[in-house]
Chain A
């Protein structure tokens, strides 16, 4: 029984996570428009379904029935490949993110299993490596379209990605130092329990600067406002995806939303204690609910920031990345290393 059940459960988990990521982008589109509407004192989408709940599905159907266009001078292969690369990198990145403690699924399994698609001993780095592959989708889309606006968008994407990846990776390194492990699951399990009985042992309290750097760099990495330069519509029409239509176009925003989810999930694992924090739920084997709630809070913050802060100028983005964010992350890393040596060495 066990021999058949376990692969079935793993397969079901992959199926659920894959579809949850697809649905997450639909929910996020709606949430974004509803929250934006609320912040601007209007209703947002309201016509399709109750309170406009079915709007994203109407959008998807509309996009599916649009004509697929390809500019005459476009590079046939790369133009087709670019959106695929973007979406594949987005889905793959989530594969090593753990989202729950070991569980027997309420006694269904004899041996407990880990909630998470795969458990790699260098998980932190794998997520980082795969998300950094995502930029190729955007850059190639920009180049292969054979359009000035697209090319500018692609150029900006590559420069921005390089600049903010540094600060992002250095912030990650500080957490790895604290945890003494590159495995995301071990990083999360190091955050179980509480100081003085009431402050949860989350790394956000040890790494407030690191968390801030991670979140800022995360916004830049997912190309969202106020750092959405690759598609700055007032300057570049629609940036790298100007020439795309129909499903090919739809894949880009979808990849962006999935990347947001991954970024928030990793932030939850690294800084907010993953599925720890509500003891009685963890004991019931429902820690993943806690995880989902934390991811939701971070996603809300992303949307909140987008509709609150206006877009920077491109040179401001570069200056901020190199002159403030990166030095701050290096100082944070050195301080962390010194303190870890002092207390553990």
Chain B
């Protein structure tokens, strides 16, 4: 009973915060709401007995990445979006672009419905509880990550390295002191 209540509380918080991230116009508040959404997600992970994932979520997303987001928002001192001007000028408001976005949204809904109808099937395949227990232990997670998914893990790290080098190259100023 208590578990159901906390689940719906956390899930509700995550959804409301996520919708508000794109729903209101102050970039500073968007960042903070995104942090709230991440915190709610971490709470859900704890409910699944995945303590390590929950703490990693807080450390990496809420603790590091969002601090960088805040840094950028503060550094650029992004102004509040002006509603009328936004409606008139923004490229995302052009009819073609809007139609493309709507199509993507419909696709996402279809995918979600498809996935949700298959949950029972999936539960039967992995046997619910056993999968949860394995995720809980850091040792087990390390094994799975570095043995079964070792290639994907290393490929991701190279991808991130390439992105970092790319960012440095793009941001570097040309000139004698560069």
Q: How far is the CA of A140 from the CA of B62 in the complex (A)?
A: 14
At the interface, is chain A mostly helix, strand, loop or mixed?
A: helix
B67 touches A135 (CB 8 A): yes
A132 touches B71 (CB 8 A): no
- Interface stretch, picked from B53-61, B105-113, B165-173, is B53-61
Question: B138 contacts which chain A residues (CB < 8 A)?
Answer: 122, 182
Q: Any chain B CB within 8 A of the CB of A129?
A: yes
- Chain B, residues 43-87, CB within 8 Å of chain A (1/0): the string is 000000001100110110011100110110011010000000000
Given A136-B35, A155-B74, A155-B75, also A126-B67 (CB < 8 A): no
Q: Any chain A CB within 8 A of the CB of B28?
A: yes
B52 touches A125 (CB 8 A): yes
Question: B74 contacts which chain A residues (CB < 8 A)?
Answer: 139, 142-143, 151, 154-155, 158
**4 closest Cβ pairs, A-B complex:** A132-B63, A129-B58, A125-B55, A158-B71
Given A122-B138, A136-B35, A151-B74, also A162-B68 (CB < 8 A): yes
Q: Any chain B CB within 8 A of the CB of A120?
A: yes
A78 touches B63 (CB 8 A): no
Question: A165 contacts which chain B residues (CB < 8 A)?
Answer: 63-64
Question: B75 contacts which chain A residues (CB < 8 A)?
Answer: 155
- Chain A, residues 124-136, CB within 8 Å of chain B (1/0): the string is 0110111011011
Q: How far is the CB of A159 from chain B (nearest CB, A)?
A: 6
Q: B residues 127-173 with Cβ under 8 Å of A?
A: 138
B52 touches A162 (CB 8 A): no
A121 touches B51 (CB 8 A): yes
At the interface, is chain B mostly helix, strand, loop or mixed?
A: helix
- Count, chain A residues at interface, CB 8 A: 28
Chain A interface residues (CB < 8 Å from chain B): 75, 78, 120-122, 125-126, 128-130, 132-133, 135-136, 139-140, 142-143, 151, 154-155, 158-159, 161-162, 165, 169, 182
The number of A-B residue pairs with CB atoms under 8 Å apart is: 66
A129 touches B55 (CB 8 A): yes
Given A120-B51, A122-B138, also A162-B64 (CB < 8 A): yes
Closest to A124 in B: B55
Question: A154 contacts which chain B residues (CB < 8 A)?
Answer: 74
A132 touches B52 (CB 8 A): no
Q: How far is the CA of A186 from the CA of B75 in the complex (A)?
A: 43
B67 touches A139 (CB 8 A): yes
Q: How far is the CA of A340 from the CA of B75 in the complex (A)?
A: 43
Q: How far is the CA of A162 from the CA of B32 in the complex (A)?
A: 17
Closest to B59 in A: A129
Q: How far is the CA of A162 from the CA of B69 in the complex (A)?
A: 11
Q: How far is the CA of A304 from the CA of B131 in the complex (A)?
A: 51
Q: How far is the CA of A169 from the CA of B58 in the complex (A)?
A: 14
Q: List 21 A-B contacts (CB under 8 A).
A: A78-B32, A120-B51, A122-B138, A125-B55, A129-B63, A130-B58, A132-B58, A132-B63, A133-B58, A139-B74, A142-B74, A143-B28, A151-B74, A154-B74, A155-B75, A158-B68, A158-B70, A158-B74, A165-B63, A169-B59, A182-B52
